[in-house]
Amino acid sequence: SKTAYIRTKPHLNIGTMGHVDHGKTTLTAAITKVLSERGTGSSTQYVSFDRIDRAPEEAQRGITINIAHVEYETDTRHYAHVDMPGHADYIKNMVTGAAQLDGAILVVSALDGIMPQTAEHVLLARQVGVDHIVVALNKADAGDEELTDLVELEVRELLSAHGYGGDSVPVVRVSGLKALEGDPRWAAAIEALLDAVDTYVPMPERYVDAPFLLSVENVLTITGRGTVVTGAVERGQVRIGDRVEVLGAETETVVTGLETFGKPMESAQAGDNVALLLRGVPRDAVRRGHVVAEPGSVSPSRRFTAQVYVLSTKEGGRSTPIATGYRPQFYLRTADVVGDVDLGDAAVARPGDTVTMTVELGRDMPLETGLGFAIREGGRTVGAGTVTEVR
């Protein structure tokens, strides 16, 4: 039988961000390799580049979810790490909260410097409340030292411009590729990067005493056992045998199995990435975006007021203003729902503006003050906001 997950260290969720081809996936594989080779006491399993890059795609309700989770352990912490292949995957998974990042590793190629997606991911991280970023200045094996110094300055400036305190952010020069090839110098650089993550990214506050809530990221069927939903526990705790409510499916059931990274566990808590086996729930009844919660703990609604930042054209947003009557998609937690925008007295909102709007969603959702969301239209993000009042 499978070994149970034993919680011996605090658990954090992190991930790589950055422009395509700057080496996010290579670095992710290198981290698992270096940690797996630490010798006795290391519980980390090496995950190869191919296994990360070819994470299965799950298409549900027209959204392709493409997200690879790997896990590893340093001396002091257990990490779940997400890596995503394309820019659109970052938008979907970060903004919707599927990738609940407590901190991020921004990967910047020392050869190329800041590229458009580097800047967009920093902006995105700020919008979704990622408060701590560590920089991996990658491809340092191939870079010229003076040029790398310039890239470092440029990255620090970018971070400062987004409120990340660029002067104090750790910037570590690494080579994911050389570390993956077993070069000891570059393996040491990966260790230095992990030390920076361990020390610079604080343990976030976990609302373990709040009622349980998990937004469904994925739904799978285990033949003979039933329907499994996966996602990150947003708050509270859940144990095998607990009654839960599935909002969206409007059904109540019992959790009959609980796993994290394929290991069975007795109880899960806020911050954990888990799979829940739900008794007697047909697979078709549950979808990405539904919410599993302690029965009666949330009352869904569809109207809210929000503070919204309309992305500028330069940030990939619209080139024309929005007005009352606008009907884009709202990405809340792992759900995407159409919504009607009412701008009230402010007749229009231009790209680059921050505005207050009232939104009427196409269906009821568990909403609460402080909940972040993205506004998307025709496959791109045009706004990012926070719920200020549920109506």
Annotated binding site for GTP: 18-25, 83-87, 138-141
Question: Of residues 8-47, which lie at the interface with ligand GDP (CB under 6 A)?
Answer: 18, 20-26
**Alpha carbon separation from 238 to 11, 77, 208, 210, 262 (Å, rounded):** 16, 22, 10, 11, 17
Closest distance to ligand GDP from the beta carbon of 139 (Å) = 4
For 227-241, give the DSSP string.
EEEEEEEEESEEETT
Please choose which of ligand GDP, Mg ion, none residue 104 contacts, taking the beta carbon within 5 to 8 angstroms, the exact cut-off set by kind: none
Closest distance to Mg ion from the beta carbon of 369 (Å) = 36
Nearer to ligand GDP, 111 or 337 (CB): 111
How would you classify the pairing of strands 171-173 and 133-138? parallel
Q: Under a CB-based contact definition with an 8 Å cutoff, are residues 214 and 232 in contact?
A: yes
For 61-112, give the DSSP string.
TTEEE--EEEEEE-SS-EEEEEE-SSHHHHIIIIITTSS--SEEEEEEETTT
* Rounded CA separation 135/180 (Å): 19
* Angle, CA 27 vertex, CA 141 and CA 218 arms, to 5°: 165
Please choose which of ligand GDP, Mg ion, none residue 248 contacts, taking the beta carbon within 5 to 8 angstroms, the exact cut-off set by kind: none
* Annotation marks residue 21 as catalytic: yes
* Rounded CA separation 320/297 (Å): 41
Q: Which two tokens stand for residue 59?
A: 């298409």
Please choose which of Mg ion, ligand GDP, none residue 333 contacts, taking the beta carbon within 5 to 8 angstroms, the exact cut-off set by kind: none
Beta strands of 282-379 (E only): which ranges?
291-293, 301-310, 322-323, 329-332, 335-342, 348-349, 354-365, 372-377
Task: Give the 3-state secondary structure of residue 302.
Answer: strand
Question: Rule CB under 6 A: is residue 346 a binding residue for ligand GDP?
Answer: no
Which of the residues 25, 148, 253, 334 is marked catalytic? Answer: 25
Q: Which of 4, 142, 338, 346 binds ligand GDP (CB under 6 A)?
A: 142
* Binding-site entries for Mg(2+): 25
* Annotation marks residue 24 as catalytic: yes
Minimal CB distance to ligand GDP: which residue? 23
Closest distance to ligand GDP from the beta carbon of 88 (Å) = 13
Please choose which of ligand GDP, Mg ion, none residue 177 contacts, taking the beta carbon within 5 to 8 angstroms, the exact cut-off set by kind: ligand GDP
Nearer to Mg ion, 120 or 272 (CB): 120
Closest distance to ligand GDP from the beta carbon of 262 (Å) = 24
Which of the residues 21, 112, 198, 340 is marked catalytic? Answer: 21
Please count the other Cβ atoms lying within 10 Å of the Cβ belonging to residue 356: 16
Which of the residues 11, 33, 69, 87 is marked catalytic? Answer: 87
Which residues of the chain form contacts with Mg ion (CB under 5 A)? 24-25, 85
Closest distance to ligand GDP from the beta carbon of 83 (Å) = 7
Minimal CB distance to Mg ion: which residue? 25
SS (H, E, C) 309-329: EECCCCCCCCCCCEECCCCCE
Nearer to Mg ion, 85 or 351 (CB): 85
**Size of interface with ligand GDP, in residues (CB under 6 A):** 15
Question: Rule CB under 6 A: is residue 66 a binding residue for ligand GDP?
Answer: no
Phi then psi for residue 263, to 5 deg, are -105, 130
Nearer to ligand GDP, 99 or 335 (CB): 99
* Rounded CA separation 49/195 (Å): 22
146 burial class (0-12, 13-18, 19+ CB within 10 angstroms)? exposed
Closest distance to ligand GDP from the beta carbon of 122 (Å) = 15
* CA nearest to 267, candidates 44, 4, 3: 4
Nearer to Mg ion, 25 or 253 (CB): 25
N-term to C-term CA, the chain:
49
* Angle, CA 188 vertex, CA 186 and CA 194 arms, to 5°: 110
Please choose which of ligand GDP, Mg ion, none residue 6 contacts, taking the beta carbon within 5 to 8 angstroms, the exact cut-off set by kind: none
Question: Of residues 169-198, which lie at the interface with ligand GDP (CB under 6 A)?
Answer: 175-177
* Annotation marks residue 25 as catalytic: yes
Closest distance to ligand GDP from the beta carbon of 256 (Å) = 37
Binding site for ligand GDP (CB under 6 A): 18, 20-26, 138-139, 141-142, 175-177
As annotated, the active-site residues are 21, 24-25, 87
